[in-house]
Amino acid sequence: MAESVANVSLETLRDLLVEETKFLLSVSGDVEKVKADLRSIHALLMKADRERRDSPTLKLYISQLKDLAFKAENLLETYAVEVESKREEGRRSLKDKFKRYICIMCECSSVHEVGNEARHIISALAELTTKLESELGQESSSLSRQGDDERQRMLRQTYGHEVEPHFVGMESDIELLVSKVKDEKRQQRVVKIYGMGGLGKTTLARKVYNHTDLQSYARAWVCITQQFQPKAVFGDILKQLDSNAQIGGMEEQELVRGIHSFSKERKCLVVIDDIWKNDDWDIIKKAFPVNCNIILTTRSQNIANLESEPHMLRFLTEDEGWTLLHKVTDLSPVDTDLKSLEDVGREIVSKCEGLPLSICVIGGILRAKEYDLPEWKKVNANMELYLRHGEGVEEYKIVKHVLELSYDALPYYLKPCFLYLACFPEDHNIDLERLYLLWMAEGFISYQDKGPNETLRDVAQRYLTELVMRCMVQLHKAEYYSPLNKFDKCGLHDLMHDLCSSKAEAEEEKFLKRIDASKYLTDILSPTQTRLVIPPSIGNSISRLAISCDFESKVSGISGLEEVKGLRSFILLQKSYGMIDFKKSTIDFKMSQYLRIFVVEGCEFEGGKLPIKVGELIHLRYLSLHNSKVGELPKSICNMPYLQTLDLRVRNGIRLPNVICKMKRLKHLFLPFHSIEVIGGEKLRLDGLHELETLEWINSKTTCIADIPKLISLQSLHVIVCDEDSMSIVLSNKNSQLRETHLEVKSCDLSSEKDMEVLNEGLMSPSLVFLRMHECNMSGDFPRYKKGMCQNLVILGLFNCKGKVDVEEFGKYPMLQELTLQDFVKMAETITFRSNSFPQLKHLG
């Protein structure tokens, strides 16, 4: 975690400087000094992470660095906002020279103040750098540290001759891999077994390695681990393959040539167990000819992608899990309590979620209980204490240790992204779009990783993909998916979620704190007045607070948040349909003035309005009122200059001031599907939002549809049109950045040739993924299919429309997954489909 703190701080400050250079020229020298010092500290902390330094002193320095980075960031942002507001004031009163002069003087005062504060930060960073260099320069503990590393390496060392006493559920995998080794005609001779830690990759590889059909092969087994030593590995491989080889005194190049020469002359099988880096594979593969059989085991799907056939291990089924537990516990088939023990054992297996390692560890503990049913029930009741937190008995710690290896191997930029998943409760399906936007708002996504035609969301998607490839996060396929978005949710295995939470909430990190609201409910006021009471200890020294709620009924309010200060992120997630009263005094916005993320879902706001003081949160990046009851948004909403995401998908309608167009940095705007009301009666203006990438859902009755072509960065558009001109604007939009268009057309008269031509051309757009038409008059035929039409259309619905359709034509749409036709005037009585029609269809209405 050490290096990720420094890097995120550095990235955030640099990105801020890029945006605010025009405001910070007067203090640029001091700011550059801050940036340079942070870069030096970043290098030192990277060194500490590589050497696995974990001293209390180092943790203290990291905490101090975090505080300094926050101070620097807040200082620069506040200064930039103050200067810009004063310049805006000056521009509005150009005729009044004296007033402009006063503004300039105030500006100089702000420059002076930020300069003084910057110099204070520079001084503190210099002192911290000296301390870090001193701490990392100490070598007194190097020998003991090397000894610890060596012990850890030996504990993780595996050998091909070891016997697996308990084996379940991989019989078909063994036969498949053995057949691949024996098939001499197969072009790719490298098989990669990958999956989450504890799934049994080494066990499977060992079963193949020792298979009777492969005993005539020259075989070698090496375990790489994270401390790869090429010469030692090559020497070990050559000695195992050729017992006559004299490797003493041989250089690395000679060892490589020896392996290569031997492998060309004999049938060989080499197992490379526990490989972590693609660079390590690039070094190892040079020793083997193309016809040598190699089996890799790894937690990363990315390893050896071009040279290997992937074989992903699955989790055990409940029946397989019970069979494994039965074997490990050595249950007697004549035990009188076998049925009762099986019932409890199956519960235990389900809590292990099919992970063989955890089942084996718990099974070893149960075996010592000697089939005592009350003891089995006790273990079942305390699974979290035993298995997940590594407490009680020493054997339990192995599960946590195995999973921690995956976290330790993460590159610096992925660690905060992974830890942030602890915001969400166990077994929660995390919406991918929401996750990407939260990561961006936190500053975890680096501008440096952005390609010339990419957005930060694309980079965030890459980061998540890497966590998935490392088998730490599981993706869930969307029910209806487009070529651009095949997955819409992700989640964590329960044991991985526990690792994530324990790391994120650790005392030395204090990365975030998540609480289950159900544990803090009280009805002390009256049985009908249930409140959520946050203990004072929760809010001490944390920067991120996430509260997960699952209320079916109403909660009268929240107490305790008004005492929390210094929050940068506040997330309140409501899973069910209950409501929480959110009063103006619930949070002291002045004490949390540096909030970057404010998520309040499933809340009913006092007076039906969002507190006007929200507009004072000038550092806010992400504001979500999703599924809340908010009748009106204050005009002060436009006072948040850094806001990137505004989620207004509230339960009922909402009245909006016509100021959103002033929020120049807004990138993602979500409006309720049902219509909004714009205060003042005008249509909602969007012109000026040149950075807007997501717009969902707007309605031509309440929004200026003519502004859409002006949104030059728009990538995802959800729109409802109720007139022909608006439909024409949307379907004729030539924005090359647009990736997805979701279009609802209501009550439009498309009987003219011109309007039908617009519809025809619109269906050729590769961005059109969703089209529903209600009560539209087409008089003639719905456009017939031609090559390239509706190439990415996923959902099509035609409701109560006048016209004629040829359903057979819809069968030619390559991505169509849902088709609904209702009360159409003309449709053929007999419809005949070719065998290749509707290749993706899931739902026909």
Q: What is the largest CA-CA distance in the chain?
A: 99
d(CA 187, CA 143): 47
Q: What is the pLDDT of residues 190-212, one digit of tens each?
A: 999 999 888 889 989 999 999 99
d(CA 671, CA 668): 10
Give the Cα-Cα-Cα angle 267, 272, 273 (nearest 5 degrees): 140
- For residue 469, pLDDT over 80 is answered with yes
Structure tokens at 644: 């990137």
Q: What is the pLDDT of residues 632-677, one digit of tens each?
A: 999 989 889 899 999 999 988 899 999 999 999 999 999 998 879 9
Q: What is the mean pLDDT of residues 215-219?
A: 93
Residue 443's identity, in one-letter code, is G
Q: What is the CATH number of domain 2-139?
A: 1.20.1410
pLDDT at 824: 64
Q: Give the strands of the sheet with 308-312, arranged side by side.
A: 218-223, 268-273, 293-298, 190-194, 308-312
d(CA 373, CA 378): 9
Say yes or no: domain 153-312 is CATH 3.40.50.300. yes
Q: What is the mean pLDDT of residues 482-511?
A: 84
d(CA 673, CA 695): 12
Q: Give the strands of the sheet with 777-781, arranged side by side.
A: 777-781, 802-805, 826-827
d(CA 676, CA 439): 28
Q: What is the mean pLDDT of residues 123-127?
A: 76
Q: What is the pLDDT of residues 688-703, one digit of tens each?
A: 899 999 999 999 999 9
pLDDT at 33: 65
d(CA 338, CA 342): 6
Domains 153-312 and 410-500 share a fold: no
- For residue 109, pLDDT over 50 is answered with no
Higher pLDDT, 526 or 546: 546
Please state whether beta strands 531-533 and 521-522 pair in parallel, antiparallel, or not at all (unpaired).
antiparallel
Which residues are within 8 A (CB) of 426 and not within 5 positions of it... i.e. 6 or more apart?
Answer: 492, 494, 497, 498
Please tell me the pTM assigned to this model.
0.83
pLDDT at 47: 63
- pLDDT bin (cut points 50, 70, 90) of residue 19 is very low
- For residue 622, pLDDT over 90 is answered with yes
Query: Phi/psi at 662 (nearest 5 deg)?
Result: -85, -10
Which residues are within 8 A (CB) of 423 and not within 5 positions of it... i.e. 6 or more apart?
Answer: 438, 512, 514, 544, 546, 571, 573
Highest mean predicted confidence (pLDDT) among 164-173, 577-586, 632-641, 741-750: 741-750
Which residues are within 8 A (CB) of 529 and not within 5 positions of it... i.e. 6 or more apart?
Answer: 523, 556
CA-closest candidate to residue 614, choices 591, 632, 639: 639
Higher pLDDT, 641 or 361: 641
Dihedral over Cα of 832, 834, 837, 842: its sign: positive
- For residue 574, pLDDT over 90 is answered with no
pLDDT at 39: 63
Count CA atoms closer than 13 A to 274's CA, side-chain side: 26
Structure tokens at 390: 């590594």
Q: What is the mean pLDDT of residues 93-111?
A: 41
Classify residue 825 by its DSSP letter. S
Domain boundaries, the chain: 2-139, 153-312, 318-400, 410-500
Task: Let me know: does 405 contact 225? Beta carbons within 8 Å.
Answer: no
Q: What is the CATH number of domain 318-400?
A: 1.10.8
- For residue 562, pLDDT over 90 is answered with no
Highest mean predicted confidence (pLDDT) among 160-164, 217-221, 482-486: 217-221
Q: What is the pLDDT of residues 250-262, one digit of tens each?
A: 999 999 999 999 9
| Strand ranges inside 761-827, DSSP E | 768-774, 777-781, 795-799, 802-805, 818-822, 826-827
- pLDDT bin (cut points 50, 70, 90) of residue 720 is very high
Q: What is the mean pLDDT of residues 361-367?
A: 80
Q: Report helix, strand or coil for 507.
A: coil
Q: Which helix (H) or strand (E) holds 119?
A: helix 97-137
Look-up: residue for tokens 């990137």?
644
d(CA 513, CA 142): 34
d(CA 773, CA 54): 61
- How far lies 202's CA from each of 199, 299, 422, 648, 716, in Å? 9, 11, 29, 49, 44
CATH topology for the 410-500 domain: Arc Repressor Mutant, subunit A (1.10.10)
State the DSSP string of 698-764: EETTTB-GGGGGG-TT--EEEEEE-SHHHHHHHHT---TT--EEEEEEES-B--SHHHHHHHHHHTT
d(CA 227, CA 149): 9
Q: What ranges in 242-394 are assigned the alpha helix state H?
A: 252-265, 278-284, 318-329, 338-352, 356-367, 373-381, 383
d(CA 33, CA 39): 10
Which residues are within 8 A (CB) of 108 and not within 5 positions of it... i.e. 6 or more apart?
Answer: none
Task: Let me know: does 23 contact 83? Beta carbons within 8 Å.
Answer: yes
Residue 528: Cβ within 10 Å count: 9
- For residue 152, pLDDT over 80 is answered with no
Residue 227: Cβ within 10 Å count: 11
pLDDT above 90 coverage of the chain, percent = 39
Highest mean predicted confidence (pLDDT) among 12-26, 334-348, 636-650: 636-650
Which residues are within 8 A (CB) of 618 and not within 5 positions of it... i.e. 6 or more apart?
Answer: 77, 78, 81, 593, 639, 640, 641, 642
- pLDDT bin (cut points 50, 70, 90) of residue 624 is very high
Q: What is the pLDDT of residues 323-340, one digit of tens each?
A: 888 888 877 666 567 778
pLDDT at 385: 66
- How far lies 255's CA from each of 258, 282, 291, 446, 478, in Å? 5, 16, 18, 42, 50
- For residue 17, pLDDT over 60 is answered with no
| Strand ranges inside 240-312, DSSP E | 268-273, 293-298, 308-312
Task: Let me know: does 437 contact 423? Beta carbons within 8 Å.
Answer: no
pLDDT above 70 coverage of the chain, percent = 80
Q: What is the mean pLDDT of residues 454-458?
A: 90
Q: What mean pLDDT, rounded, does the chain reach?
A: 82
Residue 282's identity, in one-letter code, is D
pLDDT at 54: 58
Q: What is the pLDDT of residues 387-419, one digit of tens each?
A: 655 444 455 566 777 788 888 888 878 999 999
Report the length, in residues, of the chain.
845
Q: Report helix, strand or coil for 172.
A: helix
Residue 28: Cβ within 10 Å count: 11
pLDDT at 228: 81
Q: What is the pLDDT of residues 58-86, one digit of tens each?
A: 767 766 776 776 777 777 677 666 655 55
CA-closest candidate to residue 422, choices 509, 532, 355, 359: 509
pLDDT at 188: 79
CA end-to-end span of the chain, whole Å?
A: 52
Query: Phi/psi at 822 (nearest 5 deg)?
Result: -135, 125
- How far lies 392's CA from each of 382, 396, 501, in Å? 10, 8, 20
Exposed / middle / buried, residue 76 (Cβ in 10 Å: 0-12, 13-18, 19+)? buried
Q: Which helix (H) or strand (E) holds 205?
A: helix 201-209
CA-closest candidate to residue 270, choices 354, 181, 351: 181
